[in-house]
Amino acid sequence: MAASPQTGNDQKSQKLATILRICEKMSEQRDVSALLDLVAREATLLLDADRSSIFILDRERNELWSKVALGSDEILRFSADKGIAGACTSTGQVINVRDAYNDRRFNSEIDIRTGYRTRNLLAMPLEKSDGTILGAFEVLNKRRGTFHGEDEEVLRILAAQAATAIETTKFIGDLTRTQEELAIQNAQLWREVESRPHHIVGNSPQIQQILRLVERIQDSTVNVLIGGESGTGKEAIARAIHFTSLRARKPFIALNCAALPENLLESELFGIERGVATGVQPRMGHFQAADGGTLFLDEIGDLSLTAQAKILRVLQERVVERVGGRVGVPVDVRILSASNKNLEEEIRQNRFREDLYYRLKVIHIVMPSLRDIREDVPLLANHFLDAFAREHNKGRMQFSPGLMRRLMDNPWPGNVRQLQNEVRRLVVCARRPVITEDDLFEGLPQGLQQPIPAPAPVPVAAKSDGRPRTLKSAVEDLERQMIEQTLASANGNQQRAAKMLGLSRQGLINKMKRFGLS
């Protein structure tokens, strides 16, 4: 029996009231993904259909993508020339398909991928008020019969509202994201300014030469590769390069490549988009965070070959692409990198890319080990003494000449960092303003090896083969000895032994490898 005109009008005004309610809900949404979900759900109910999909046009790639395609969480992407959605987007016309598999425009690939069977569908362009088409809105499988004229009318109103809401939400989303990124950058900047690096201290020709080089490259943005043993000041010089450069007011981002698990590497470096997996929040990567400034890649020799290839690409193209992102984001980043590995040897062993190496090593700085710049020990020790005495409110403090001689004679396998740690301990434990050799053993737990051995009985005479001993091999012997002893007294705990030696854990591991200690 046909519906009376009265019933028809009632149904129409009921539908209009529902559309109005949906529009109100839409205007409350600030998130594109949630908005698309909402519109698709409501359209399905209102048009008595089985499912709905919203396809958004990515103009740069000429692709259509859908987050809510057929109710799945997965992002579908396909060429914008394909399917009914493609035809609807390119012509801007409503397309009502009564028998999908008999329509040559229909793209059955999506059905194959989702395991869904489309019988009929209605596609409406998502058109902004200025005529720009954002994509297509599809409702699938009318529960009874096929879609008709009234469905088109309803979908047209819904699509127009959705197009405006999508535009606004996208705009708000972009604005919020920019604001969040700015806040992060700003906080980072202030942290850097407040904790400005200590000056690089050193009168030795080696340090002076490095400082002159840093001064010479102040106005350029060349990449610098920094070598040197653990604790020699690689990061300190990287900070000095950044904070004396034209980029000083832009971010300095330090990243330890050795501490980065392979599966997180890409998102950490390049960022990630929302919706790549359930619950994933969009995040900017270190490259983008360092935009305009400097990215310090520490322990670069520990990067996998895959990671090296990805970084090389960014250096070549100066564009990063977030994981799950659709468009590349241009970045302007200066790369400073550091490694205590011999990278040329790594290249020979096919563990490091030669092309990346030459891009990173436009300028090469090698930080000297502390035993090679012994004349700087008093300067450094006093520099740290003043800083820590101030920090611990100890007034003016001094080292006795005897203690200073001991400090100068120590082999310092952990280099400047070890000296720094040792001075900190002396300052904290000393009872008088003049620190003497007696204070060396203050505050050390029972049974712990003395951190600074008495001048070691280094066998300077000939080796067993009768050849004269080099200073290098004597120092290495002493280093090995100290590491073995410290590991023993720390019961094999590498973390503790590294701390006692003033090395980073990785630094200790590297040395153990070099000396063949397990």
Ligand X SMILES: Nc1ncnc2c1ncn2[C@@H]1O[C@H](COP(=O)(O)OP(=O)(O)OP(=O)(O)O)[C@@H](O)[C@H]1O
The nearer residue to Mg ion, 235 or 302, going by C-beta atoms, is 235
Question: What is the separation, in whole angstroms, between the first and last Cα of the chain?
Answer: 90
Give 371's Cβ-side CA count (13 Å radius).
16
CB of 300 to Mg ion, least distance (A): 11
Given 232, 245, 288, 410, the residue binding ligand X (CB under 6 A)? 232
Q: Does 293 bind ligand X (CB under 6 A)?
A: no
> By the 8 A CB rule, do 282 and 184 touch?
no
> By the 8 A CB rule, do 268 and 286 touch?
yes
What does 410 interact with, of Mg ion, ligand X, none (CB < 5 to 8 A by kind)? none
Q: Does 236 bind ligand X (CB under 6 A)?
A: yes
What does 223 interact with, of Mg ion, ligand X, none (CB < 5 to 8 A by kind)? none
Q: Does 504 bind ligand X (CB under 6 A)?
A: yes
What does 200 interact with, of ligand X, Mg ion, none (CB < 5 to 8 A by kind)? ligand X
Q: Does 229 bind Mg ion (CB under 5 A)?
A: no
Tell me how far apart the 2 most distant CA atoms of the chain are, in Å.
117
The nearer residue to ligand X, 139 or 238, going by C-beta atoms, is 238
Phi/psi of residue 125, nearest 5 degrees: -65, 145
What does 430 interact with, of Mg ion, ligand X, none (CB < 5 to 8 A by kind)? none
Cα–Cα distance between 215 and 86 in angstroms, integer? 58
CB of 328 to Mg ion, least distance (A): 31
Given 200, 213, 315, 456, the residue binding ligand X (CB under 6 A)? 200
CB of 344 to ligand X, least distance (A): 18
The nearer residue to Mg ion, 284 or 303, going by C-beta atoms, is 303
Phi-psi region of 76 (alpha: psi -120 to 50; beta: other; left: phi over 0): beta
Q: Does 235 bind Mg ion (CB under 5 A)?
A: yes
Q: Does 505 bind ligand X (CB under 6 A)?
A: no
Q: Residues with Cβ < 8 Å from 303, sequence gap 6 or more?
A: 257, 297, 311
Beta bridge partners of 363: 224
Dihedral of CA 344/347/351/355: which sign?
positive
Cα–Cα distance between 200 and 195 in angstroms, integer? 14
C-beta atoms surrounding 378 within 10 Å: 16
CB of 418 to ligand X, least distance (A): 9
Question: By CB under 6 A, what part of segment 405-424 binds ligand X?
Answer: 416-417, 420
Q: Does 151 bind Mg ion (CB under 5 A)?
A: no
DSSP assignment of 283-306 equals EE-HHHHTTTSEEEEETGGGS-HH
For 334, which DSSP code? E
Q: Does 258 bind ligand X (CB under 6 A)?
A: no
The nearer residue to ligand X, 125 or 227, going by C-beta atoms, is 227
Cα–Cα distance between 351 and 440 in angstroms, integer? 43
CB of 352 to ligand X, least distance (A): 17
Dihedral of CA 422/424/428/431: which sign?
positive
CB of 212 to ligand X, least distance (A): 14
Question: By CB under 6 A, what part of segment 304-343 binds ligand X?
Answer: 340
Residues that bind ligand X (CB under 6 A): 198, 200-202, 207, 228, 230-236, 340, 380, 416-417, 420, 504, 507
- The site for Mg ion (CB under 5 A) is made up of 235
